[in-house]
Structure 1
Amino acid sequence: MSTVELLLHPVRLRIVQTMLGRDTITTRELAALLPDVPAATLYRHVGTLVDGGVVRVVAEQPIRGAVERTLALDTARVSVNPDDPALDNPDAVRAGFLACLGSLATAFDHYLDSPQPNLGRDLAGFRQLAFTATDDEWRTAIQAIYDALVPLVTRTEHPEGARRRLFATVSVPADDRRAT
């Protein structure tokens, strides 16, 4: 199964998004963070991600007759090759995109339901910009964003006050032609 096929499934995408920015997570912690996903479904999809190399089992501990696994995300496998033929299926891409949006909406809902959310103080929010750029200019801008975030994503020690943050981008060429 290609990385695209692994990641475009709504449940697997939510698992990966939940693991992003965490060094490790146990299956029990994952289940607590995804309470709407039935346990059997969650474990089946975690197994698929492990088999596909997107998630690694870094420890196993027996607990009351079962084995609890500690998982780590292989961040190199979370990136999708834009030339993957699985991306030729618009319905699969649409389903993956909607799952991504749904997961972000859930994360934002949880934030808004937290004690005393404050978008300004917490540096939270959502924005949409429109601009005109050549493909080369946009590639340069994307690379600059990536270069700025890599040190934060790859560090192993976190300073006091650091907290896990989600940052998502969507880039779509906007067709300004009006339908007639």
Structure 2
Amino acid sequence: MNDKLLNCFTNPIKCKILLEINSQKATTAKHLSEIYTDIPQATLYRYLNKMLKDDILKIVEENPIRGTVEKVYALNFDFLKELKNPQGVSSGKMYMQLFMQYMLGLLSEFKEYTSKEGIDIENDGSGFSLYPVYLSKEELNEFALNFAALLEPYRKNRADASRDLHSIAFIVTPPKTNK
């Protein structure tokens, strides 16, 4: 996995963009701005242009619309292949770096939240938990697939007055052995 792609996976805004483009197969900046109302339009376009320049995205269509051209963006890599076999994450040191960047993103979200006055953890819908379980490799894979399937219908929700954006993180620790 190259550094530019790694940066996209660990940057919350770029990661949102990647996930939505992957789920849609191809989409426009207009679509992205409609579902991610929390991302300023200038920021969205800046990230899209940077991701194009870094060969993370490609333009698959250009549609003339009222005197301008609407670009349709798609991923310029195989998303599942990169996640399942991240080239470049071949050492413990690089894996640790990827995990630390992931955790720093979560810490940043929690820091921003806890810095606000008058937080209400229960009503705001924040929390974290840990469930130690014994699983075979097959059971772990089945669980991960079921977890992803459980979240998929909610990923399609769009921002509105009744919905706030939450990040749900999924971490599987390396196996512990009693040997």
> 1:126 offset after TM fit, Å?
1.6
User: Partner residue of 2:171?
Assistant: 170
For 1:82 and 1:18, how far apart are their aligned partners in 2?
19
How high is the sequence identity, in percent, across the aligned residues?
13
Structure 1 spans left out of the alignment, 5+ residues:
31-42, 57-69
1:127 aligns to 2:129 (yes or no): yes
For 1:12 and 1:55, how far apart are their aligned partners in 2?
17
Alignment of 1:3-18 (within 5 A): 4-9=2-7, 13-14=10-11, 15-17=13-15
Alignment of 1:1-180 (within 5 A): 2=1, 4-9=2-7, 13-14=10-11, 15-17=13-15, 23-24=32-33, 25-26=39-40, 28-29=42-43, 47-50=49-52, 51-54=54-57, 80-155=82-157, 157-158=158-159, 160-177=161-178
Q: Secondary structure at the match of 1:85?
A: coil
Q: Secondary structure at the match of 1:165?
A: coil
**Structure ranking higher on relative contact order (CA contacts 8 Å, 6+ apart):** 1
> 1:46 offset after TM fit, Å?
6.3
Pick closer, same or farther for the CA change 1:13–1:95 going to 2, 3 Å. same
For 1:112 and 1:164, how far apart are their aligned partners in 2?
16
Q: Please report the TM-score for the alignment, with normalisation by the length of structure 2.
A: 0.63
Pick closer, same or farther for the CA change 1:29–1:92 going to 2, 3 Å. same
For 2:86 and 2:51, how far apart are their aligned partners in 1?
18
> 1:54 offset after TM fit, Å?
4.4
Q: Please report the TM-score for the alignment, with normalisation by the length of structure 1.
A: 0.63
Deviates more, 1:20-29 or 1:162-171: 20-29
